[in-house]
Amino acid sequence: MVKIGVLISGNGSNLQAIIDGIDKGLIKGKIEIIISNNKDAYGLVRGKNSNIKSLFMDPKGYDPISYDRKLLYELKKSKVDLVVLAGYLKILSKEFIDQYKNRIINIHPSLIPSFCGKGYYGDRVHKAVLDYGVKYTGATAHFVDEGTDTGPIILQEIVAVDDGDTVKTLKEKVLQAEHKILVQAVKLFCDSKISIEERIVRIIDKE
Among all residues, which ones are annotated catalytic? Answer: 108
| Nearest approach, Cβ of residue 139 and ligand GAR (Å) | 7
Q: Which of 74, 71, 82, 101 is nearest to 29 (CA)?
A: 82
Q: Which of 134, 183, 187 is nearest to 162 (CA)?
A: 134
Strands (E), 9-91: 29-36, 54-56, 82-85
Choose, by CB under 6 A, the member of 4, 6, 7, 13 that binds ligand GAR.
13
Number of residues that bind ligand GAR (CB under 6 A): 17
Q: Is 47 in the site for ligand GAR (CB under 6 A)?
A: no
Instruction: Choose one: 26-34, 121-129, 152-160, 187-195; the region binding ligand GAR (CB under 6 A).
Output: 121-129
Do the beta carbons of residue 74 and residue 33 sit within 8 Å? yes
Q: Is 138 in the site for ligand GAR (CB under 6 A)?
A: no
Do the beta carbons of residue 105 and residue 127 sit within 8 Å? no
Q: Nearest residue by C-beta to ligand GAR? A: 87
| Nearest approach, Cβ of residue 111 and ligand GAR (Å) | 12
Residues of this chain that bind ligand GAR (CB under 6 A): 10-14, 43, 86-87, 89, 107-109, 121-122, 125, 175, 178
